[in-house]
Each structure stands twice: as C-alpha cells, then as structure tokens.
Homo-oligomer: A and B are copies of this chain.
C-alpha cells in the first residue's frame, strides 16, 4: 500500500474548498461559499469563526492595514510574521494564498480562510519540530521520510529523492529542508495524494485517469510567482 487508508488523523487538512475546487476537471468557481459566522470577536467589521484564538484575530487585524477585511500577499506575510512565522518565502506565501483563498475570489484571504491557514501552519510546525530532533531548524531526508511515514504517507524512496532534489542547492549532497521547504513539500504530497485517492476509492494504489482529469489535478500545484 503506497499510501494510508487509515482514518486516523493524518496530515493537516487542506481546505474543503480547494479539494472541491478541481473535482473531475471542472472549474467550480461557482462553488457556493456559505460562510455564516455565529460569533464576532473583533471590534472591526471583520468576522471570525467562533472560538478563534484572540492571537489569530490580532495578527489578522494588525496586518490588515487598509481595513479591507482581507489580507493580500504582503499583508499575509506580515500577519504570519506577527504569528512567529518569519522568513516564509514569496513562493510559499503565494502557494498558501492560492490554496486557502476562497475559490471565487482573487488572491486575498478573509478571516475564515486565514484561520484555516493558521491552524494548518500550526500543525505542520508541530510535525516539523517533532522530527527536527537536533533543533537545528533543518530536516534531512531521513527525518522527512520519518515525518511522512508518521503521517501515513509511505512514499517510495524514488519519490522522496525526487522531492528532496527539488530543494537541492546544486551540490546534491546533504540537502536539508527548512520549515518553509518542509511546509511546501508536505502540502504538495498531501494535496497530490488526496487528488489521487479521489480516483482510487478502493485503495488499490492504482487509478485510471482521463487526460483532462490528469492535467486538472496537477496544474493547481504548479503555481506561478511572476
């Protein structure tokens, strides 16, 4: 079995909207976004889901300088920096924005999407810290394999090597991942595996895909940053 069929908690969830978004190769930009907040934490007009931690609200509001009720990319970087996530690359910021934004919206996050992203980051951070055993802030390929194994992703060595080589600094030796790269790796593996599983409901490790579906599954993970 190449990936888990366990129903136990696994990798942090991608937003439901993202999983829904590309199903069957169709554009679901008409996806009904039914956010109905039942509680308001903020004094501004921005509404957060109930039980949102006040620090999350604070980081959002501090970064939302134009009081638009949304974070654009630079505001998101600022908000994450307030939350202790410094040094997140432009690439990862864009990737997070793309995955967590409301599918019908432009590249910006409202309170609900920000909370989802924040919770996901906290989970990946916790996994990273568990496997960064020497507290170097870096994770080598063995630790990465162990972390994925823990998440029930039994990645074959060839795939793991390919993944690691994408973060190669040119020497090809002793590649280590910082949290930023780990986060990206994790979300890619998680996201692609989820897409594959949708087409392999019997957990056979094989899926039959049409060309259209194949292309539609992949392209969202190939993000441009220009």
Contacts and interface: CB of A to CB of B under 8 A. Distances in A.
Interface string A154-171: 011011011100111011
Contacts of A171: 106
Interface in A174-226: 180-181, 184, 188-189, 192-193, 196, 200, 205-212, 214-216, 218-226
A171 B196 CA distance: 31
Interface in A1-53: 2-3, 22, 25-27
The number of times this chain is found in the oligomer is 2
B192 A2 contact: no
Given A167-B226, A168-B106, A181-B224, A158 B3 contact: no
A48 to B, nearest CB: 24
A84 interface: no
Interface residues on A, range: 35 or more
A158 B212 contact: yes
Interface in A122-136: none
Contacts of A168: 106-107
A106 B170 CA distance: 5
A162 B216 contact: yes
Contacts of A155: 215
Given A27-B158, A184-B224, 8 more contacts: A2-B210, A25-B158, A72-B170, A91-B225, A159-B219, A188-B219, A205-B212, A206-B211
Nearest 6 CB-CB pairings of A with B? A2-B211, A208-B208, A159-B215, A162-B219, A166-B224, A107-B170
